[in-house]
Every structure is written in C-alpha cells, then in structure tokens.
Amino acid sequence: MDLTRRPRRLRQDRLRGLVSETSLAPSDLVAPIFVDATADERVPIESMPGHERVPIEESVVRVEEVLATGVEAVMLFGIPRSKDPEGTRAWADDGVVQEATRRIVAETDAYVLTDVCLCEYTDHGHCGPLEEELRDELAAADAPDAGACDRDAGPDPTLTVDNDATLKALETIAVSHAEAGADMIAPSGMIDGMVAAIRGALDRAGFEHVPIMSYAAKYESAFYGPFRDAADGAPSFGDRRHYQMDPANAREAMREVALDVEQGADVLMVKPALPYLDVVSAVRREFAHPVAAYNVSGEYAMLHAAAERGWLDLEDVAHESLLSIKRAGADLILTYFAEDVARVL
C-alpha cells in the first residue's frame, strides 16, 4: 500500500488554518431587519427564534445591535400601517422603509440595503397589482349577490400579477428608497424587466451611483414560510409559481441571471441558498459579478428546531451552513444567523 501521499499531514492543528480554502468574516454577512409601522414595541417572531419586528422608533437601536457584532450591512423589510390592492404604501414618503432608512442613515454607519417588492404592501399578498381579469373575478366573488359556489371556486389559477403595471410601481418604490438614503436597492419579485426599469428610474432621478442587487434567481420555494409570518406577506390566494422560478430548473436560472446582467444588475442574488448551492456555484463560474445568496427563514428555522430537540449543535451547524454557501461561490450572504455567527467569528 502506497502511503507516500498522506492528506492528513495538512490537517494538523497549527496547519489547518494556513491551508484552509474558504474563510468567513462578519463583513461577508447582511442581517435582515423587519420594521413594523403598526408596532409600539418589539414583537417576537415565533417561527424565527431570536428575531423580532421592531417599531420605526427602535430601528436605529436595532441596527446598532447588529453593528456591535461586526456585521456592517442590513437589509430592511417593512410592514406598513395599511394595505391596498396596489400596495401604495410601498412608495409613500412617510412609508415604513423610507422613514426607517432616513433614521438609520442619519444616525449610524450601517450599509443599508432595501427590499423592493409589493407583497408586504398589497392586501392580497402578491408581488404586484393583479391582472385586470383577476381583479374583476375577485370583485365578483366578493359581491353581495355572489353565489357560494362562485366564492368557493377560488380565483382562476392561470391569472397572476400584471407584470408591466408592477414595473411602474417598482420604479417609484426604488426612487423613494434612494431619496431616503438607501445605499443599495434589492428588487425581489422576479418581475420580468425589473432591473432595467429600476436602473432607468434611478438614473433619471440622479441616483446613478446607487447599485442594484437583483434577486436574479429566486425560486418558488417551500422554505419561505417563517418569512411570510415575519413580514405579513403571504398570498391570500394561490401561490407565486407564475413569477418565481420552478425548483426543478437550473438552466433557466442562468437565463434569468443573464437577463439581469444585460439590464444592469450590479450584484446577483440566488434565493434560497442551501437547496440551490449548485445554482450559486454555476452563477459564480459564469459571471464576473458579485454573487449573493439568501440563507432564508426556513433554513434558519429548521436548524433552530433541530437544535431545540438536542439533535444538532446550533452554533456549529450555523457556521457550517454559511461556510458551505461561501464555498459554493457567494461573496455575500443574507442570513438570520448574521449576528450569532459574527459574534463567534
């Protein structure tokens, strides 16, 4: 037996760090924060242990808590004070994200990314205004003289959001966030043409310097459940399969990413992360842009659940999970573990 090649020689304690291929640092991480315009105090998120919705008045304090761990960037998600079919509170000057952004930028050194989508702001929970036929169908079902069978049948599953009307809204939202001081805009709805529309709107408004991190390959995933509780953004009917990607498809992801690159995306996001490390790796190989990956709420929640039963060590599996995402090719990772892992690092 030839033992001249012994890989174990490089696994000795004082040598392991020197030959380690992948490293993880707090500066690689982005911490999501939920700001709630309806709250007067912090509200724990039951399905995401350790996380809370915070009122606008506490948004600065919450960000300062993140910065104290060494994490330098935050992503803001908003829960508005009211909702309507068009999601108009998403671009209100006194909207939840706009107001929180102004405060955070004025009082901290955090790098502020803002989520640009409509699902938290529409009363139906979809990522844009609905197609006219679907609006008419829902209105008819809600009419006082509608028959029970009509209501029970539910909306036509072939109908979905109005793509082009949504683009107009995304343009307005993005500019309002930039005006509030956002450092980076992150459109997350997987709406066709969203990057080009937002890039054009930002440039016309004088925000050529504001980069776009596109959710370039966002899957219609079962791992988003806890987030929808946290952000109050679950669809009231149907699902998002008509505008988010099929989990079965990898080649399609490369087409989606290429389109966003052509339209001017500065950073390319893959979401979720752990079930799609093959996609993260493929995007890293194919494109020179920075690659982001979102370690989503379901990935976070399942590790917590296993740790609470004593099946896993939470600190170890959290670190290993983020390390795997970085190893696959992500330059930055959005994760609910950001603060906990950063403290250890």
Question: Among all residues, which ones are annotated catalytic?
Answer: 218, 271
List, as one string, the DSSP characters of 174-232.
HHHHHHHT-SEEEE-S--TTHHHHHHHHHHHTT-TT--BEEEEEEB--GGGHHHHHHHT
d(CA 330, CA 28): 9
Q: How far apart are CA 335 and CA 225, in angstroms?
A: 15
Amino acid at 159: L
Gyration radius (Cα) of the chain, Å: 21
Residue 2 CB-density burial (10 A; 0-12 exposed, 13-18 middle, 19+ buried) = exposed
Which element (helix H / strand E) includes 102?
helix 96-107
> Residue-wise over 48-85: b if at least 16 C-beta within 10 A, else e?
bbebbbbbbebbbebbeebbebbbbbbbbbbbbeebee
Q: Do you know the residue count of the chain?
A: 345
Listed in sequence order, the residues at least 6 apart from 47 whose beta carbon sits closer than 8 Å to its beta carbon are: 225, 226, 229, 230, 297, 301
**Separation CA 106–CA 235 (nearest Å):** 34
Q: Which residues contact 167 (CB under 8 A, 6 or more apart)?
A: 191, 193, 194, 197
Cα separation, 34 vs 70, whole angstroms: 19
How far is it, in rounded angstroms, from Cα 78 to Cα 324?
A: 29
Tokens 């795997």, residue located: 324
